[in-house]
Chains A and B, each alone.
Chain A
Amino acid sequence: MKMTPKLATLLILAALVLLAPFLFPSNFYYRVGALIFVNSIAVTGIVILTGYAGQISLGHAGFAGIGAYACALAPAHFGIHPALAVVLGAAISALLAWLVGRPILRLKGYYLGVATLGLGILISMMLNNERQLTRGPDGIEVPELGLRALLKGWGLDLTNGQFWYYFCGLCMILGAWLALNLHNSPSGRALRALHGSEVAARTVGVDVARMKLQAFVISAVYASVSGSLLALQNKFITPDVAGFMHSIEMVTMAVLGGVGSVLGAIFGAAILTLLPQVLTVFAEYEQLVLGLVMMLVMIFLREGLLPSILRKLRRKGE
């Protein structure tokens, strides 16, 4: 088999997921790992939207909120299995993204950023204020997914931390695989092309508005699934998941690591998820650090950390 960049990325991710536990000083790190993977899924969606299609969303946490609360509310109110609730949340997120994106993405420029900013705040406000439904800022419990018990029945006995670590890792690799397939497909090429020149994309026959809308809907589904997985593993969720800071966090992770590359963006997600866990001081100054990171990357490493490092290494190798 030929070693394509796609295969290399997937192998690196799989190796990291499987080998990292040998270095874990305590079981706590399974939990940190699972959080990294959950963030990586959302960030992979940002790569498709921002890295491929060149569109910016400042409200993607809103979709994560929908995915998370679908897992809390749908089983309780409609008696749906939590796994189906993940799909339901993704469908609602996709529909909402389509409704919001359709009129806006016909326009050129950064209108999507402004509109998603409003959408994210709206969703976050709804989750905070609709107390009868969401129980407001105190949060709400989320039912057990039940997959771990099923695996135990088949003789695979994992601790809760281990289960979520491997399960989210698998989901992250699956998400990366889909995004990489898109990258090299005619649709992916069209997305990256309109990023370069919308006029030229139209002259070769690309329906620019439709392609942008597709990218937006797909990335909303990624964010929604990421929110669902977070809710299911915590078994509890608060409206913070849909908050503005979470949206900014997603974009910063992607931009820091390299928004044009799936592996780079996941690298960014890993760094920014790890930092507050390792350096507790960081947690206090998180917003400050996020802003600073964003500025420094934009000034010094426009492509993001990983692509810049790889380029330096390649140059040294020559």
Chain B
Amino acid sequence: MLKVEGLRSRYGRIEVLHGIDLEVSQGEIVTVVGANGAGKTTLLRCLSGIQPVSAGTISFQGEPLTGIPAYKRPAKGLTQSPEGRQIFGNLTVEENLRLGAYNFHDERVGKDMEDAFQMFPILREKRNLAAGGLSGGQQQMLAMARALMGRPACLLLDEPSMGLAPIIVQQIFDVVESLKGRGVTVLLVEQNAFGALRIADRGYVMENGKIAMQGAAADLIADPRIREAYLGI
């Protein structure tokens, strides 16, 4: 579904991605784990089109994404839930969700919103409040729900567990896992390697802008090198 070949990207003169190859198949949950500064977020930003690509190709559902601006990618089914949540703080929860469905104007928007409220009941309670007043965990839920309102075929999730209490993290990961049942393919970028690998089918380990290891998530969790370097076990 999503195929990345030889992807390079730079900030000014400093290259931060040195040729990434990565593939996500329909219906999978794939995770990219790695330490802070490994280039995980930059990779996602390249996929969503916010970060310029200096070499290599990204193709989505067989179509190259080169030259397609960020704002046109959600309509193609590739939606990002950005790092640091980036909710629209001065808008209400409901307005945030409606913006997630910016490309759609049919009756399904109402149904999707109902789905979102079922997934995260707290959002229903707060639907008419300014999103800026939500707690960190609620904002993360809103960011995910907003991305889902765009009916993505493939959802790019950037560090959904960042800065959240363990119990909320568990809840968020449960929801990510459940997306599989809804036919949404997920590419999950995480520092919380253990939590991410537990729900993923396959994983990539990034180090200094390169893919250092890849394989089935279960194998990666069991690999002694990974356990030592990232899982702290």
Contacts and interface: CB of A to CB of B under 8 A. Distances in A.
Contacts of A197: 86-89
A274 interface: no
A204 B91 CA distance: 15
Contacts, number: 79
B70 A203 contact: yes
Given A189-B102, A200-B86, A205-B72, 16 more contacts: A186-B98, A186-B105, A189-B98, A190-B102, A192-B95, A193-B88, A196-B89, A197-B89, A200-B82, A200-B143, A203-B70, A203-B74, A203-B79, A203-B81, A204-B74, A204-B146
Given A189-B95, A203-B70, A203-B82, A195 B102 contact: no
Contact of A196 (B49, B79, B90, B105): B90
Contacts of B88: 192-193, 196-197, 200-201
A205 B71 contact: yes
A146 B71 CA distance: 48
Nearest to B85: A200
A205 B103 contact: yes
Interface in A54-82: none
Contact of B71 (A186, A195, A207): A207
Interface string A183-225: 0001001101101110111111111100000000000000000
Pairs of residues from A and B, 10 with the lowest C-beta to C-beta distance, nearest first: A200-B86, A196-B88, A205-B74, A202-B70, A197-B86, A193-B88, A203-B80, A207-B71, A205-B102, A202-B71
A189 B91 contact: yes
B50 interface: yes
B30 interface: no
B86 A190 contact: no
A204 B99 CA distance: 7
B75 interface: yes
A140 to B, nearest CB: 44
B138 to A, nearest CB: 16
B79 A189 contact: no
Interface of A: 186, 189-190, 192-193, 195-197, 199-208, 260
A61 to B, nearest CB: 28
A196 B87 CA distance: 8
Please classify the interface of chain A as helix (H, G, I), strand (E, B), loop, or mixed, using the class held by over half of its residues.
helix
B140 interface: no
A203 B71 CA distance: 6
A120 B11 CA distance: 36
B102 A204 contact: yes
A206 B102 contact: yes
B185 interface: no
A189 to B, nearest CB: 5
B160 interface: no
B48 interface: yes
A199 B146 CA distance: 14
Given A204-B102, A205-B150, A199 B71 contact: no
Given A203-B48, A205-B74, A205-B75, A189 B99 contact: yes
A203 B73 CA distance: 8
Nearest to B76: A205
A196 B95 CA distance: 12
B50 A199 contact: yes
Interface in B96-127: 96, 98-100, 102-103, 105
B176 to A, nearest CB: 17
Nearest to B86: A200
Interface in B42-74: 48-50, 69-74
Contacts of B50: 199, 202-203
A189 B146 CA distance: 14
Contacts of A192: 88, 90-91, 95
Contacts of B72: 205, 207
Given A186-B98, A186-B105, A189-B95, A204 B87 contact: no
Contacts of A195: 90
A186 B82 contact: no
